[in-house]
Amino acid sequence: MKELLYLKDDQLKDLIEKIFVGYRETFSDSKKILDKYSIGLAHQKVIHLLSMYEGISISKLLAKLKVTKQSLNRVLKDLIKLEIIVFKKDEIDTRIKHVYLNEKGKKIFEEIFLLQKKRIYNALLDSSSEEVINFDKVLKKIING
């Protein structure tokens, strides 16, 4: 954007609203499935990360979620009750706990993801690969702020 010399506040406000709405809609499509298993948005996020990062440690999960361990533990306890996660101690450093979705957990994730990904999938399908690459690029820059 250097060539434009300025970025108008109105454009920035508009983008901020869109980031909010995009997030909200992306994480509300799968609500029916969450209700089916009596879990919520916090559980969905944890399951999502467990699917992406199999065997992630508690501290890394905390770092990705940016919540306190008290908050995360409530969610993990619910997922244990649901019988969808398992833990394995690190073989070298036994303080570290690795968290995994079991088969049931993976199935439930697929149920959630099937609904959630539709919105993104359709948006990308309707875009050129360059548009998609640029979307990803800018989003990454926003995150790395």
Give whichever of 65 and 115 is closer to DNA, judged by the CB atom. 65
Backbone angles phi, psi at 134, to 5 degrees: -70, -35
Residues sharing a CB contact under 8 Å with residue 55, sequence separation 6 or more, in sequence order? 88, 98, 99, 100
Phi-psi domain of 96 (left: phi exceeds 0; alpha: psi -120 through 50; beta: other): beta
Nearer to a copy of itself, 94 or 144 (CB): 144
| The one among 12, 63, 80, 86 contacting a copy of itself by CB under 8 A | 12
Is residue 69 helix, strand or coil? helix
Site string for a copy of itself, 65-104 (x = CB under 8 A): -x--------------------------------------
Work out how close the CB of 137 gets to DNA at its nearest, in angstroms, rounded to a whole number: 27
Binding of DNA at residue 93 (CB under 7 A)?
yes
Residue 51 beta carbon to a copy of itself: minimum distance, rounded to whole angstroms: 7
41 lies in the site for DNA, by CB under 7 A: yes
- Residue 37: which residues within 8 A CB-CB, separation 6 or more? 82, 108
Q: 46, 108 in Cβ contact below 8 A? A: no
Decide which of a copy of itself, DNA, none touches 103; Cβ closer than 5 to 8 Å per partner kind. Answer: none
42 binds, among DNA, a copy of itself, none (CB under 5 to 8 A by kind): DNA
